[in-house]
Amino acid sequence: MRALWTAGTGMMAQQTNVEVISNNIANMSTTGFKRRRAEFQDLMYQNMRRVGSQSSDTGSTLPSGAQVGLGVRAAGVYRIHEQGSLQQTENKFDVAIRGNGFLQVQLPSGETAYTRDGTLGLSPEGVIVTAEGFPVLPGVTVPPNARDVTINGNGEVLVKLDGQTAPQNVGQFQLAIFANEGGLEAVGDNLLMASNSSGAAQQGAPGSPGYGNLMQGFIETSNVNVVQEITSLITAQRAYEMNSKVITASDEMLSTVARLR
């Protein structure tokens, strides 16, 4: 029976949906996390009577035909890049991006990764690094005798040194934007990698047209809406149950046929 296999694809699709929702809920407190949404597509159709075919020798055609669907499949999992809330941390090295853009991070392999996680600190050498100790490009070093550090909205890092009244500019952060942010590949640790789908990174200073601003002493929280995720979870669970009932009904129908004498 087609219904048996069709309902099976529905259960697998809703299982994927629940897995995506569970990952969203698990990361509701992850800094800079962007929620995901599963998208689905219908499968191929079997034509029992092809639409538009002739139904008589006089040339009359079928107005609708008869097609039977074969189920559903997961088409993709999309990342929703809407702004998360900003949370004050009182850490002078933390920065939140308000608007478009990603911080650029140099990995130990030499590759460049991208993140919205602005939880930053200093390495033993005074370089501003991520929570994993990876340098934030282009590489800003804070002098050891700095009495105060200010990161303005344009990404400039200004320090006050002993014996000087005017702050000294020791570097400026650069943000990266992409033609297709949804094409970035997540690799864990709040990091994303460029891909053929995302396109090449376009670098620019914070505050430039098309780029967001930096806010010192803040981090961007996850954009997961718990109420929305729980509602989606209930919907997915009910859809899974309905598909399982279709399998049960199909099994009972097959059992009835098997008992015929």
Report residue 57's pLDDT band, with 50, 70 and 90 as the boundaries: low
Evaluate if residue 19 carries a pLDDT over 90: yes
pLDDT at position 85? 93
- Cα 80 to Cα 193: distance, rounded to the nearest angstrom: 16
pLDDT at position 255? 86
Report the 10 Å Cβ neighbour count for 161: 15
pLDDT at position 55? 64
The lowest-confidence range among 14-28, 44-58, 120-134, 212-226 is 44-58
pLDDT in tens, 86-144: 999 989 999 999 999 999 999 999 999 999 999 999 999 999 999 999 999 999 999 98
Cβ-contact 93, 122 below 8 angstroms: yes
Three-state secondary structure string covering 84-137: CCEEECCCCCCEEEECCCEEEEECCCCCEEEECCCCEEECCCCEEEECCCCEEC
pLDDT in tens, 212-232: 999 999 999 999 999 999 999
Residue reference for tokens 């047209």:
209
- Of the chain, the percentage scoring pLDDT greater than 70 comes to 96
Evaluate if residue 62 carries a pLDDT over 80: no
* 226 Cα distance to chain centroid: 16
What's the whole-number mean pLDDT along residues 53-78?
78
pLDDT at position 44? 82
Evaluate if residue 56 carries a pLDDT over 70: no
What's the whole-number mean pLDDT along residues 66-77?
86
Element (H, E) at 47: strand 45-49
C-alpha torsion sign, points 130, 106, 187, 234:
positive
pLDDT in tens, 135-184: 999 999 999 888 889 999 999 999 998 878 788 999 999 999 999 998 99
Token couple for 236? 């997915």
Beta strand 36-42 with 72-79 is: antiparallel
pLDDT at position 67? 74
pLDDT in tens, 187-215: 999 999 999 999 999 999 999 999 999 99
Pinpoint the alpha helices (H) of the chain.
2-26, 226-258
DSSP E strand stretches across 165-249: 168-172, 175-177, 185-188, 191-193, 202-204, 213-216, 218-220
- Cα 224 to Cα 34: distance, rounded to the nearest angstrom: 7
Evaluate if residue 31 carries a pLDDT over 90: yes
pLDDT at position 52? 67
Cβ-contact 157, 128 below 8 angstroms: yes
Cβ-contact 38, 20 below 8 angstroms: yes
Cβ-contact 215, 150 below 8 angstroms: no
- Model-level pTM? 0.84
Element (H, E) at 75: strand 72-79
Average pLDDT of the chain? 90
